[in-house]
Amino acid sequence: MRYYITTPIYYVNADPHLGHAYTTIAADVLARYHRQRGDDVFFLTGTDEHGNKVAQAAAERGLSPKEHCDEVAEHFRVLTRQLNASNDFFIRTTDPGHEAFVQQFVLRLKDAGDIEKRTYGGLYCTACEGFYYERDLVDGKCPIHQIEPQWLEEENYYFLLSRYQERLAEFFRAHPGWVRPRSRYNEALSFIEQGLEDISISRSSITWGVPVPWDAGQVIYVWVDALINYLSALTYATPGEDLLPVFWPAQLHTMAKDILKFHAVIWPALLMSAGYALPEGEIIHGYLLMGGEKMSKTRGNVLDPFAVMEQHGLDALRFYLFREVTFGQDGVIGLEGFEQRYNNELANELGNLVSRTVSMVGKYRGGITPSATPDAGLAAEGAAAVDACRAHFDATEITAALESIWDLVRRLNRYVEERAPWRLAKDEAQAAHLDQVLHDLVAGLRLVSLCLSPVMPDTAVEILRRLGQPCEPADLLLEHAQWRAASATVQAAAPLFPRIEPAG
- Binding region for ligand MSP (CB under 6 A): 8-11, 19-20, 22-23, 48, 226-227, 229, 255-256, 258-259, 287-288, 294-296
DSSP assigned state of 135: G
Say if strands 115-125 and 150-159 run parallel, antiparallel, or are unpaired. antiparallel
Which residue number, 229 or 449, has a Cβ lying nearer to ligand MSP?
Answer: 229
The residue from 69, 142, 389, 471 that is catalytic is: 142
The residue from 110, 297, 433, 480 that is catalytic is: 297
Q: For residue 117, indicate whether it is catalytic.
A: no
Q: Which helix (H) or strand (E) holds 132?
A: strand 130-132
- Distance separating alpha carbons of residues 265 and 253, to the nearest angstrom: 13
Which residue number, 20 or 92, has a Cβ lying nearer to ligand MSP?
Answer: 20
Q: For residue 125, indicate whether it is catalytic.
A: yes
CB of 417 to ligand MSP, least distance (A): 39
CB of 313 to ligand MSP, least distance (A): 21
Q: What is the CB neighbour count within 10 angstroms for residue 66?
A: 12
Which residue number, 280 or 475, has a Cβ lying nearer to ligand MSP?
Answer: 280
The residue from 20, 34, 263, 392 that is catalytic is: 20
The residue from 75, 141, 145, 257 that is catalytic is: 145
Angle formed by the axes of helices 65-82 and 52-60, to 10°?
100
Q: For residue 69, indicate whether it is catalytic.
A: no
The residue from 141, 294, 433, 480 that is catalytic is: 294
CB of 20 to ligand MSP, least distance (A): 5
Q: Are 206 and 51 in contact (CB under 8 A)?
A: yes
Closest CA to 103 of 228, 238, 2: 228
- Distance separating alpha carbons of residues 82 and 260, to the nearest angstrom: 27
Which residue number, 22 or 124, has a Cβ lying nearer to ligand MSP?
Answer: 22
Q: Are 230 and 279 in contact (CB under 8 A)?
A: yes
Say if strands 199-200 and 282-285 run parallel, antiparallel, or are unpaired. unpaired
Give the CA count within 13 Å in the CB-facing half-sphere of 503.
Answer: 3
Which residue number, 227 or 233, has a Cβ lying nearer to ligand MSP?
Answer: 227
Q: For residue 128, indicate whether it is catalytic.
A: yes
The residue from 34, 53, 98, 128 that is catalytic is: 128
Angle formed by the axes of helices 398-419 and 314-324, to 10°?
100
CB of 253 to ligand MSP, least distance (A): 8
Which residue number, 19 or 281, has a Cβ lying nearer to ligand MSP?
Answer: 19
The residue from 17, 34, 261, 439 that is catalytic is: 17
CB of 319 to ligand MSP, least distance (A): 17
CB of 8 to ligand MSP, least distance (A): 4
Q: Are 319 and 457 in contact (CB under 8 A)?
A: no
Which residue number, 87 or 449, has a Cβ lying nearer to ligand MSP?
Answer: 87
- Residue least distant from ligand MSP (Cβ): 19
CB of 10 to ligand MSP, least distance (A): 4
Closest CA to 346 of 317, 371, 369, 310: 317
DSSP state string for 438-499:
HHHHHHHHHHHHHHHTTTSHHHHHHHHHHTT---SGGGGSGGG-SS-----B----S-SSPP
Active-site residues, by number, are 17, 20, 125, 128, 142, 145, 294, 297
